[in-house]
Structure 1
């Protein structure tokens, strides 16, 4: 799957799935735009990408802030002159439930990053993707269709369900322009998302709960992202691809 001279934005690419995807695109010859908030982690990813022959564009941004989101697109076009692939990967969760006094604080924070930001970035990217007949891959979660932990991280579940429906709607709209939009929904994947939350969930408990008795690795999800962004998937749009070690079979 060659992405030589393709321009690819990956949000949330300082670690985890996003970092794995950025590296995979760089290995296939893409001009990668690394987006995140941790400068040290982004530099680490950038150095690894550059080892494949091309220096990435690194954009420090909080995708939930409109001016910083707009700068991601503007900086990409200023540097490379086009955009071929947008991977909306940035996401987070906070433990909260609807009965908590501060529920709406966590709800707004999660929704702004997990749903509003992809919507706004898509809106900004559309003119450029129409020009290149590019595509979008939105990173969702099996949480969009499961309720196994919904009572404790309800906002996250809502945000991913919304992202799925948005993806299908915009896929239908952009099909007339030859722009594809697809969804990748991982189950548990070994990233630092748990380290960035205040919950008590751990990877071992996740692994034990899956039929395959394992959790995914970021590279597995990156492989799926690259397939959907490539010409090998030119007939696929508005589709959701699940990689969850069988988790939905028991939920």
Structure 2
């Protein structure tokens, strides 16, 4: 167990699987008390139990966090259980469909707006009064697609572009209240979203996401969680309004750069977290 977040209380939305699971477990290992928040269909209870079994401190919260009443309930639970709130991780999101815009369903678009944008809005709104008391911080889940756009999922990239601008706006207005706000922007990560068996990508898209990185591979959820750990910690006390890419060089890659990556670059690091739900894709499908 580390101590970089010792004494801190964090809410992680979408905490039951994928990158969210890794953030919850990384934060708990570093001393944070974690509220693992997500849909009732997500393995929120399992992640909470696994953290506790490893000696960490966590409680679950299940509900639709795009509803203000539920967002307020999640914040109230954190304060009731742990006395305060220091960190909000707006990680929850969805990747429901890949399609040309002419064929992209309105249902999927509305689902993106609800889960990728509205949830971050209402959770931030609910959390800010408590974060202002603790001089805490918010980290939003961005994406390389929020900077570059993404073919066959223009609406998804659009929601992430919103998150980038939203976080910068919050940083600008909340500095006077002592609250930092930043973005961690992953590229292709080894979760259920980027495998054809568990998400909306086909085989060609799977190949393209690895070819499009300088390192020729998907990142791991733990590699993303490492960035969240730094940005959330007091070590990043002079960082606000920033976007941290964790994308294997996607933003500067040209053509199928991944094919030319050195073999050591293509090897995923082993990591230290026991991640049981990295391929779960409960929040990648419409409900």
One fold, TM greater than 0.5?
A: yes
**d(CA) in 1 for partners of 2:193, 2:69:** 25
Q: Secondary structure at the match of 1:2?
A: coil
Alpha-carbon offset, residue 61 of structure 1 = 1.8
Structure 1 residue 226 corresponds to structure 2 residue 229: yes
Q: Is the 8 A contact 1:189 1:216 kept in 2?
A: yes
**d(CA) in 2 for partners of 1:18, 1:25:** 11
Alpha-carbon offset, residue 204 of structure 1 = 4.6
Match of 1:214 among 214, 217, 224: 217
* Residue of structure 2 equivalent to 1:98: 101
**d(CA) in 2 for partners of 1:112, 1:39:** 17
**d(CA) in 1 for partners of 2:141, 2:126:** 18
* Greater Cα offset, 53-62 or 219-228: 53-62
Q: Is the 8 A contact 1:96 1:106 kept in 2?
A: no
Structure 1 residue 118 corresponds to structure 2 residue 104: no
Structure 1 residue 89 corresponds to structure 2 residue 91: yes
**d(CA) in 2 for partners of 1:63, 1:145:** 26
* Residue of structure 2 equivalent to 1:193: 193
Aligned length: 248
| Structure 1 unaligned residues grouped into runs of 5+ | none
Match of 2:66 among 55, 61, 64: 64
In the superposition, the TM-score normalised over structure 2's length comes to 0.81
**d(CA) in 1 for partners of 2:62, 2:155:** 25
Alpha-carbon offset, residue 98 of structure 1 = 3.0
Match of 2:36 among 29, 34, 37: 34
**d(CA) in 2 for partners of 1:219, 1:59:** 22
Q: Is the 8 A contact 1:96 1:155 kept in 2?
A: no
Is the alpha carbon distance of 1:204 and 1:47 closer, same or farther for their aligned partners in structure 2, counting shifts above 3 Å? farther
Alignment of 1:37-186 (within 5 A): 37-38=39-40, 41-93=43-95, 94-100=97-103, 103-147=105-149, 149-150=150-151, 152-186=152-186
Alpha-carbon offset, residue 184 of structure 1 = 0.4
**d(CA) in 1 for partners of 2:50, 2:199:** 27
**d(CA) in 2 for partners of 1:204, 1:51:** 37
Cα deviations across residues 6-39 of structure 1 (Å, max 9, x unaligned)?
A: 1100011111111111001111111100012256
In the superposition, the TM-score normalised over structure 1's length comes to 0.92
* Residue of structure 2 equivalent to 1:235: 238
Match of 1:22 among 21, 24, 30: 24
Q: Is the 8 A contact 1:190 1:203 kept in 2?
A: no
**d(CA) in 1 for partners of 2:42, 2:164:** 32
* Greater Cα offset, 53-62 or 223-232: 53-62
Q: Is the 8 A contact 1:187 1:243 kept in 2?
A: yes
Q: Secondary structure at the match of 2:193?
A: coil
**d(CA) in 1 for partners of 2:53, 2:29:** 9
Cα deviations across residues 100-143 of structure 1 (Å, max 9, x unaligned)?
A: 3x633221110111111101110110110000000011111000
Is the alpha carbon distance of 1:59 and 1:221 closer, same or farther for their aligned partners in structure 2, counting shifts above 3 Å? same
